[in-house]
Structure 1
Amino acid sequence: MKEKIKGRIYQAIEEKVFPACAVGVVRKNGERIIVPAGRFTFDHSAPEINENSIFDTASITKSIPTSSLVLKLIDEGKLKAEDKLINFIPEFRNSNRENVLIKHLLTQILDYDFRLSEYKNEPPDKILKVIFTKEFKSRPGEKYFYTNATSILLGLVVERIFGESLDKLGEKYFFKPLQMKRTLFKPLKKFPKNEIVPTEIQEWRGGLIQGEVHDESAFALEKKMVVGSAGLFSTAPDLLNFLEMLLNNGSFNGKKYFSPKIINQIQTNQLVDIGQYAGLGWELNQPRYMGKHCREKTFGKTGFTGCVCVCDIEREVSFVILSNFTYPIRKPDAALINKFRSDIADIVFGNL
């Protein structure tokens, strides 16, 4: 399996899909392989990737730690999936404010029908006002619409219930006990730039983005808050620890993080009524990046920078891909990275 993965990574580097990549695979028993390859950039003198290279995981942040903290609250009875959003964020005031539930946020079924990146030049308070007041195109729960806004709202809910910021909560409840020592928001506070993989050369940001969140709306909002939609940086070994915990029904090294009930909700389709697939806090059964062997209970999360986590508890295996697909500039669509993701998934699930 390792040689097949390595060959596919080098093929992608050769095809200029990305210059840097780390793939990790973990089984329920803790057995793991990690394949780092490439360099920070396409320059032959750029630093080489190793298994401890830190990547911007982009929207993986939505599941780790944001949704995971929400699931922890639900597990402990401090929050219900059916609770109204306005119980925690009374400032939320579009005409559907009474009908927005926590489960709508966890499964991306709020039809915002706009891109937050359009507001990247606005101050944080203006961006939050848009999230709090923008009208939906359809009633909550009727249509799947993927947006950063839902996870930003979830992050605020989590912070208000716990009374601490999202970065500290992630560290306290997951990263520290799971020994994820190189996983954090704002990595330049702790690690030198030459350990963090760059994501894009962007005129709007004044050049190379390295060690700062790539996502535009998260970058704009970071002046005010830690953002639930993007901004987590991590490594392949660290994320494998989290995935190994999920494979073991919510336990890792004798410590319990989730109940079997919550683990079951993660891998159970919550959107049967609207003919879509999503688990609680995770995406579910998505062959476009989970490959041809993906099943109804296979769950995962992608990141725009070229990352993905995929977990299949029934088959006792998970994998992570970290890359800088957005370097040197973002591609017009996700076709190349989804082909790579699904090819890696086929190697992993096809070699069990």
Structure 2
Amino acid sequence: MKKAYLILLILNLFVIASCSSFFKPTNSDHISFLEVDSIIEKAISDSAFPGAVLLVSRDMRIVHEKAYGTYTYDPASPKVTTSTIFDLASVSKVVGTTTAAMILIDREELNLDDKVIKYLPEFNNNGKENITIKNLLLHNSGLAAFKKYYDVYSTAEEVINDIMNLTPEQEPGSKYVYSDLGMITLQKVIERITGQSLDKFLEENLFAPLGMTSTMYNPPTESKDNCMPTELDDFWRMRQLQGEVHDERAYMLNGVAGHAGLFSTANDLAKFLQMILREGNYQGRQYIKPETIELFTKKQSDQSSRGLGWDTKSPEGSSAGKYFSLLSWGHTGYTGTSVWTDPELKTFVILLTNRVYPTRNNNKLS
């Protein structure tokens, strides 16, 4: 989501964050964030998105958390609150799948250099035998970016079978192609190792212990009214999507997918990012080793700006903006979500929107 409003917003946030006096409890705090508020409110008035939640943290302290707008452009629709749940889209790749892989690597149950076929023998066909776990995380496995599937298949089993039998478009390691299919493959590796579905593994080993009580795949019926609507689907599901995953491939995989499917709040994501910034420790529990975090959040090669799963700041056009340090890492999501962290400034910014409402063809953020 390399978007003009998002870049402008983060530029302003990090101009503010770079001022050492800003984080002192003075009246200038309120004045400085008024500028940020005005950018978001202008985006809403320009129909870039109906609503948003912004959270900013510095030195492990939340310095700004605010909700803006309404669920839809109907003024009578519910107001967004800081507890509103958003469809994270591709931010699921890092908060969910990538973190699960990090946990398994720390447990020595998974190795970056392992070939996928070690865990998924059914993947061993059509030239995929040399694809490694690292290739999947770097998005250079050679697998295609995505396939529609919803207009071809009707079950999750059919989708997974198709992915297991894909022919790569390039040699592994030869080219960066951001691939949903690669992350779904990593999901199946994780599930094969753990003997659990991805959502169950993450709930037991990450979300519940961290107190991320509003983070989940497939929100239950009683939570759906607290979920931000995404799209008025007029080509397949033919309804307003609220509390069900926006991404078609994830929906076909019953809402639990390696590339999308997570729902969360800004406050829950803040707990997660605080844990990462604290070198994997949160309230006395070590979730991930510091060296694993360092490895995954740094740029891996000149082929792309990618870390392992995570993205890093790139010189041109990055949604990280101009004022992030070179150590910054983050990710964005198609529905209008973004998390970016600067460990040098000990600062992170979470921006959650529903920019795909009422249609993904809304390009006012581009």
If the length of structure 2 is used for normalisation, what is the TM-score? 0.86
1:233 aligned residue (260, 263, 286): 263
Which position in structure 2 is the counterpart of 1:242? 272
- The letter of the residue matching 1:78 is E
Distance in 2 (CA, whole Å) between partners of 1:130 and 1:233 is: 26
8 Å Cα contact 2:128/2:167 also seen in 1: no
User: Who is 1:166 aligned against?
Assistant: 198
Q: 2:216 aligns with which of 167, 184, 187?
A: 184
CA contact (8 A) 2:145 2:180 kept: no
- Tell me the CA shift for residue 27 of structure 1: 2.2
Query: What one-letter code is carried by the residue in structure 2 that aligns with 1:171?
Result: E
Q: 1:117 to 1:5 in 2, by over 3 A?
A: farther
Structure 2 letter corresponding to 1:320: I
| Residue equivalent to 2:70 | 39
Q: CA RMSD in A?
A: 1.7
Q: Is the 8 A contact 1:247 1:318 kept in 2?
A: no
Aligned-pair identity (%)? 34
Q: Aligned equivalents of 1:238 and 1:174: distance in 2?
A: 11
Aligned partners of 1:113 and 1:228: how far apart in 2? Answer: 15
Which runs of structure 2 are paired with 1:128-277 in the superposition (5 Å)?
A: 128-191=160-223, 193-203=224-234, 204-222=236-254, 226-272=256-302, 274=303, 276-277=304-305
Counterpart of 1:25 (choices 56, 59, 68) is 56
Cα distance in 1 between the residues matched to 2:190 and 2:266: 26
TM-score (norm 1): 0.90
User: Could you say what secondary structure the match of 1:33 adopts?
Assistant: strand
Task: Specify the SS of the correspondent of 1:302.
Answer: strand
Residues in 2 aligned to 1:240 and 1:260: alpha-carbon distance in whole angstroms? 18
C-alpha change, 1:310 and 1:80, in structure 2 (3 Å) is: same
Conserved 8 A contact 1:182-1:234: yes
> Is the counterpart of residue 106 in structure 1 residue 146 in structure 2?
no
Contact 1:47-1:194 at 8 Å conserved across structures: no
Segments of 5+ residues of structure 1 without an aligned counterpart are 339-352
Relative to structure 1, is the Cα distance of residues 77 and 310 closer, same or farther in structure 2, using a 3 angstrom cutoff? same
Partner letter of residue 304 of structure 1? Answer: Y
Report the Cα distance in structure 2 between the residues aligned to 1:116 and 1:259, rounded to whole angstroms: 35
Distance in 2 (CA, whole Å) between partners of 1:257 and 1:220 is 31
Structure 1 segments, 4+ long, off by >3 Å, are: 118-121
- Please show how residues 83-94 of structure 1 align to structure 2 within 5 Å: 83-94=114-125
CA gap 1:120/1:6 in 2 versus in 1, 3 angstroms: farther
Residue 174 to residue 68, structure 1, CA distance change in 2 (3 Å)? same
Matched to 1:212, the amino acid is E
Q: Deviations over 1:15-73 (max 9, x none)?
A: 10000100111223333421110000000000000000011001111111111010111
* 3-state secondary structure, aligned to 2:209: coil
What is the count of residue pairs matched by the alignment? 331
Amino acid at match of 2:278: N
Matches of 1:294 and 1:137 in 2, distance apart? 34
Query: Which position in structure 1 is the counterpart of 2:25?
Result: none
